[in-house]
Amino acid sequence: MSQADSLIETLKRQLRAQGKTYADVARWLGLSEASVKRLFAEKHFTLARLECICDQLNLEFVELVQTMQAGEQRLQELTQAQEQSIVDDRELFLVAVCVINGYSFDEIHHQYQLSELECTRQLLKLERLQLIELLPGNRIRRRLAANFRWRVNGPIQRFFQQYIANEFFRSRFDSDSEKLVVLNGLLSPAGNAEWQQTMQRLAKEFHSLCERESGLPIHQRFGTTSVLAVRQWQYGLFQDYKREAEAKS
């Protein structure tokens, strides 16, 4: 179902919820009831007409869109087997990462050595995994929840830890586009939990910024990775200096 279809179906549910009929809509729009029925059947509304109906329902247009999105089944996490299938297929992995970062079909095809056929084949695999919906004209609609994440200690997270971490930190972090901040201090369990919540808010701000800039041309955006980490941990180098009582605790 396209987004337009979903929006009209959501509008119909809102009308029913408030006990309104096609006759009411016809009166609001100054049309015949037959014309309104045809509009709903063809799912062909102008923005002005949608806003008029929303006004009569005491509903902001943005609320209608949010209600539609809330009603859709959005993916929060893949299964262990699904993640493993992505890790085992490097081309699928590449396309999945591109899609999650908002690449279009043409951007994937032109930036990487994938034929249109191969690109389509991989996108169809992602559609079967419910990560996306492949629309006419090779348009990609992501079906990811706002809190989508790879599985904790799952195949993809382990892959990044094994192969990406060393490469990521193999840098002096002294260019204009790089920054490394290492913080060290003493925190209580409550303080640690509070800091983790702060990190989570930063992660949301990062994703919000990516979303706000998603309309920019792809050549104006570049891959950006930010690592936020916290743990109760001490360098192994100092392990032998720990008192025996502390080591057993």
Amino acid at 157: Q
CB 22 within 8 A of CB 11: no
Q: Is the pLDDT of residue 23 over 90?
A: yes
- What's the pLDDT at 203? 86
What token pair was written down for 166?
């060393």
Specify the CATH architecture of the domain 3-71: Orthogonal Bundle (1.10)
Task: For residues 223 and 119, give the distance between their C-alpha atoms in angstroms, rounded to a whole number.
Answer: 20
In the predicted model, is pLDDT for residue 247 greater than 50?
no
pLDDT tens digits for 222-240?
888 888 877 777 666 666 6
Helix (H) or strand (E) holding 87: helix 80-87
pLDDT at 70 over 70: no
* Ranges of CATH 1.10.260.40 domains, the chain: 3-71
Q: What is the pLDDT of residue 249?
A: 46
Tokens of 7: 């929006």
Task: State the Cα–Cα distance between residues 181 and 199, nearest whole angstrom.
Answer: 13
Q: How far apart are the C-alpha atoms of 150 and 83, rounded to whole Å? A: 8
| 244 or 59, which is more confident | 59
Query: Residue 246: is its pLDDT beyond 60?
Result: no
144 CB-near residues (< 8 Å, 6+ apart)? 74, 75, 100, 131
pLDDT at 32 over 70: yes
pLDDT category at 10 given cuts 50, 70, 90 is confident
pLDDT for the residue numbered 95: 93
Q: What is the total residue count of the chain?
A: 249
With contact defined as beta carbons under 8 Å apart, do 162 and 106 qualify? Answer: no
**Residue 60 half-sphere exposure, CB side, CA atoms within 13 Å?**
3
- Contacts for 90-96: CB closer than 8 Å, 24+ residues apart: 91/118, 91/122, 92/122, 92/125, 92/126, 94/122, 95/119, 95/122, 95/123, 95/126, 96/126, 96/131
Ranges in the chain annotated CATH 1.10.10: 76-170
Residue range 142-198, pLDDT digits in tens: 888 767 888 999 999 998 888 777 888 888 888 888 998 888 888 899 999 999 999
CATH 1.10.10 fits 76-170, yes or no: yes
Across the range 114-139, mean pLDDT stands at 91
Distance CA(123)–CA(132), nearest Å, equals 8
